[in-house]
Amino acid sequence: MGSPVLHTDIAIIGGGIAGLWTLNQLRNQGFNAVLFEQQALGSAQTIASQGMIHGGIKYALSGAWSGSSEAISAMPGIWRSCLRGEGKVDLRACKVLSENFYLWSHTGLTSRVSSFFASKMLRGRVHKLKRADYPEPLRSPQFKGQAYRLVDLVLDVPSLVQALAGQHSDAVFSIDWATSSLQVEDGQAVLHTPAGELRPRQLLLTAGTGNERLIQAMGADQPAMQRRPLQQVLVKHDYQEPFYSHCMGGSAAPRLTISSHRSASGQPVWYLGGDLATEGADAPPQELITKARQELDELLPWIDFGECQWQTLRLDRAEPRQSALLRPDSAFIGEVNNVDNALVAWPTKLSLAPNLADEIDAALAQRGIAPGPCTDLSELQELGRPGMAQPCWDTLFS
């Protein structure tokens, strides 16, 4: 007797934020969707995220505010709706690290930027703060700059992954590419596994950098992918006050982006991004750590961090290829050439996961794919279930 053949509405490959959010939204709409992950859920880009759900203000600062930037401006509100249990995806089990995110400059923002923040375009999205309302790390008399509060919020990414994975865990399976394969038969993508053959009406690739290999496995070369590298710095220390902020410097991009986390043992960890991480993407780790020390000493000299431990984390952000490695500012859905039932997706950033899922909804509607009959997934049980990725502030300092 041959291997069983299973038919599903949707098969998703990739269990990061893109795949997990899409799985939840589709199954909540009645689609028979199933997800496969090679490693742990949330691995690589998702678990390495600082957890910021931003509305694109930093793009406005650089003058790169476009029609697609308007899509990201709606994201904080959409995420907050889901966190209340009122959106397309239920995130009530996700932990919010901070309802507030700040933007500041250690020398004071220029009058040009101050007037820009006061413009009609950004009214209601940026709030100039009185000194009494500054976050604790900026309340020193030595701080001479100006602080603003943005509409952005910060989530605990491990709890986000758990919240999304837990609601439809019966449709999430491990995939081992040593024993499984993705093939194209008569223009249709077919997934062959030890548990049987899966024939989806629509295949969705949401595997981040892994999308490139999956596209090649189907004998295709489009959509093309680009990698934008960065190297974040982590410092475990004794200073107890959290901080979630962009520090603006001389360029339009944040000079330093800070998010605060706690290790499994409860010790504070600051996770440092911004220009530090992008400009130092290929720097030797110790060289970048030295630069990070200098930045904190210069920007926040009044803070006593106590005993510090330092690490760096290098990763590649996966995005659709654009000329001159431009940074995409909206989610991307593209057809895999020569494969009729395959789409590849990149959210391009954590904030845009809801936007990506809505774009997938639109693509399915355009293709005439509506929820079909329920499929018994019990045959896939032998594949096992993927675990949860561990945050880098635990793995790097272990």
* Main-chain phi, psi angles of 102, to 5 degrees: -120, 155
Mean pLDDT on 137-153: 93
* Main-chain phi, psi angles of 29, to 5 degrees: -90, 0
pLDDT at 54: 85
Do 282 and 233 share a domain, yes or no?
Answer: yes
Predicted confidence (pLDDT) per residue in 70-93, tens digit? 678 889 999 999 999 999 999 999
Domain boundary among 281, 299, 318: 318
pLDDT at 120: 42
Q: How far is CA 292 from the centre of its chain?
A: 23
Do 195 and 123 share a domain, yes or no?
Answer: no
Is a pLDDT exceeding 70 seen at residue 67? no
Do 383 and 248 share a domain, yes or no?
Answer: no
- The residue assigned the tokens 């959509």 is 223
Residue 71 covered by a domain: no
Do 241 and 179 share a domain, yes or no?
Answer: no
Do 267 and 365 share a domain, yes or no?
Answer: no
Predicted confidence (pLDDT) per residue in 5-43, tens digit? 999 999 999 999 999 999 999 999 999 999 999 999 999
Do 240 and 259 share a domain, yes or no?
Answer: yes
Domain boundary among 295, 318, 341: 318
Domain span at residue 240? 98-154+227-318
pLDDT band at 182 (very low <50, low <70, confident <90, very high): very high
* % of residues, the chain, pLDDT over 70: 89
Predicted confidence (pLDDT) per residue in 134-144, tens digit? 999 999 999 98
Domain boundary among 289, 318, 347: 318
Residue 87 covered by a domain: no
Q: Are 260 and 270 in contact (CB under 8 A)?
A: yes
pLDDT at 105: 85
The CATH number for 181's domain is 3.50.50.60
The region of weakest confidence among 114-118, 308-312, 393-397 is 114-118
Residue 247 covered by a domain: yes
Do 233 and 148 share a domain, yes or no?
Answer: yes
pLDDT at 61: 58
Mean pLDDT on 251-274: 92
Do 314 and 253 share a domain, yes or no?
Answer: yes
pLDDT at 68: 47
Mean pLDDT on 119-130: 68
Q: Are 53 and 152 in contact (CB under 8 A)?
A: yes
Is a pLDDT exceeding 50 seen at residue 111? no
Residue 57 covered by a domain: no
Rounded to two decimals, the pTM is 0.93
Residue 82 covered by a domain: no
Residue 249 covered by a domain: yes
Residue 36 covered by a domain: yes
Do 115 and 218 share a domain, yes or no?
Answer: no
Q: Structurally, how many domains does the chain consist of?
A: 2
Do 240 and 343 share a domain, yes or no?
Answer: no
Residue 79 covered by a domain: no
The CATH number for 296's domain is 3.30.9.10
pLDDT at 235: 98
For residue 244, the one-letter residue type is: Y
Do 166 and 308 share a domain, yes or no?
Answer: no
Do 340 and 379 share a domain, yes or no?
Answer: yes
User: 168, 238, 181: which is closest to 27 by C-alpha?
Assistant: 168
